[in-house]
Chains A and B, each alone.
Chain A
């Protein structure tokens, strides 16, 4: 089985220097994460703020350089690419940002914003680029295209800007896109439209997607698989329906319980939210990283770090007591 993106034990640690003479310490944003992605598949990476999901996404498109592990893209190791080779990878992998208000340069017209990637990668002549830009705008349903192309970002609404950002990501015809919370900054009314648009484009062009979000509710409609991240590690990974219907890891269960349900019967139910906050990534807890917050924590959880293992078919969990939870 060949994957488009195959991530092995990826580690992205950020070095923090306190002074010239003292030893630097590290923030372990992504710690030994393994993940794989088939061509045309969409995976959702879900986690709280500070769980390292954005760092994972940015490492995958090589905005951050990992200090360990491997990223294999289409059979090629892209972990340490530099210069010309990195430029090649930049054309294959794109990222869509959370904040459409800051991700577009305010002093460029929409046309110029979309033309930049083409100019950088020396694609097409003037006339061809023009056609490609109008095509991209049509794809994200920003019409009339000629009028839209002449506008500046500040003239557009948040949803329209995010469409421009999506068009910019698509214009190089990438095979892999990381969408970093693409709808969390948008009005609720346009969120679902943008998600459907992304899904449609993903299906049409067969692009592999990593959809990073903290909102478990929208993932089911967007992705085939879901990976739950906590404190820089993947805690559970399975098909979307499987995870939502049969969550095994205590953390996943807690996350699922936190989703509001539009049922009047539930209005008196007090939600159980996992107590505490995500741990300090400089010195993460020993053993299982979730143990200080886990209601089922035992002695072994403090000492031994559980490995991600297949509990049932295509269902991976990193918990010492996964089997017990499965029986329930």
Chain B
């Protein structure tokens, strides 16, 4: 009861200061993120899909976060998906005709969507799903624009049950669009055409290039006409007009939703940093107490071991270990703890214990028969505990940085997303030079924030628990 009151008193005192209050608010924010992460994206889901590129195909590539719109005062396009397989999607109509006399079946699909964004889409893709037997079906795709113009994008046979047309990349389709531009603006000279721009631009001079084109807002439509000999055959179409913004944190080069990575980074970082700091501080303190209390040869040997540990290049060994054994974040944690058990932190604790063990009540405990173990556990430990807690909290950012640093070097957790790994991906794909700021700045901001949270709380705790540091 009294220790609970004590903790409450400490928190009250922390709340009084400005910087620890920021720390507490930040920490609450991160704890909130950590609780949210597994609710929004369950662990098994993250493990299964984070590194699975097929899962992310409906997302735009390298999209900025949605909230960018508020800052630039423009409405950047979001991804539009119209899928005729989805019966609830009222923008898609499907109609089937049996042309009995000819032995043909005709399937007409119309997919309409309103486009009223201030920028052009980033990519356009059409996927046709078809079940058929016998001869290959024939497909015609027409693109209808709000200004009444129409382009026939595709006219070909389908050879498999799933055919993907990359409208913004396929050279044949680009050529068709280029011809459409030529007739629209009455010119014969055209160096290149950006298909996703030309299709959504006002039919004026310069509509072929992103720099000069203007967005034509309004109702667009895609007419898909499939002819097949199999009267039982089916056909469906899924149109993907990829946007330029996505979600709260945008997407990366693999179309992954970065919100998931950022969110999951929080519990991973907190649990890694806190567990590492806790385990290392507690084992170090226990060994320090034991060695100092035993004294003599035991103490000498342990001190020599500590001195050897102190000159061993910790990071280098860790890197070598991670190169030889593909470490998950939990085995990395074990390695870090093992490499730090006899770390230099013990020297400081030892000097403190040297002082405490001379206190009268320790000798008194010996005089009424307390065993070594009892003195270590019940007399030295509670006396040392308040002095090591600030250091414990303050050391957490160090371990978070360590994990992020190793992940940045490509030596981190292979399956779970972590902030360091996101930065590693961003670095490998040149995000800095390409200006994919959200991919770099968001994880960095989160790492900074958590470091500030723990550092301010740790420092302020030190001032409270160690009154000598109190400034008056």
Contacts and interface: CB of A to CB of B under 8 A. Distances in A.
Interface of A: 61, 63, 86-87, 90-91, 94-95, 97, 99, 102-107, 116-117, 120-121, 165, 168, 172
B367 A90 contact: yes
Given A99-B360, A102-B360, A120-B374, A107 B383 contact: yes
A94 B382 CA distance: 25
Nearest to B3: A107
Given A107-B382, A107-B383, A116 B360 contact: no
Given A103-B360, A107-B382, A116 B367 contact: no
A229 B106 CA distance: 121
A94 B366 CA distance: 10
Nearest to B359: A102
B368 interface: yes
Residue in A63, A86, A116, A121 with the greatest tally of chain B CB atoms within 10 Å: A116
A94 B383 contact: no
A290 B338 CA distance: 59
B370 A63 contact: no
B382 A90 contact: no
B369 A91 contact: yes
B377 to A, nearest CB: 12
Given A99-B360, A103-B360, A120 B366 contact: no
Contacts of B379: 105
Interface of B: 359-361, 363-371, 374, 378-379, 382-383
A268 B360 CA distance: 42
B367 A94 contact: yes
Contacts of B383: 105-107
Contacts of B365: 105, 116
B368 A117 contact: yes
A165 B367 CA distance: 12
A172 B365 CA distance: 13
A183 to B, nearest CB: 16
Contact of B370 (A95, A106, A120): A120
A105 B380 CA distance: 10
B369 A97 contact: no
Contact of B366 (A63, A91, A106, A165): A63
Contacts of B378: 116
Contacts of A117: 368-369
Contacts of A102: 359-361
Contacts of B370: 116, 120
A97 B360 contact: yes
Given A105-B379, A107-B383, A120-B374, A63 B369 contact: no
A85 B368 CA distance: 13
12 contacts: A61-B367, A87-B369, A90-B369, A94-B368, A95-B364, A97-B364, A99-B360, A104-B364, A105-B361, A105-B365, A106-B383, A116-B370
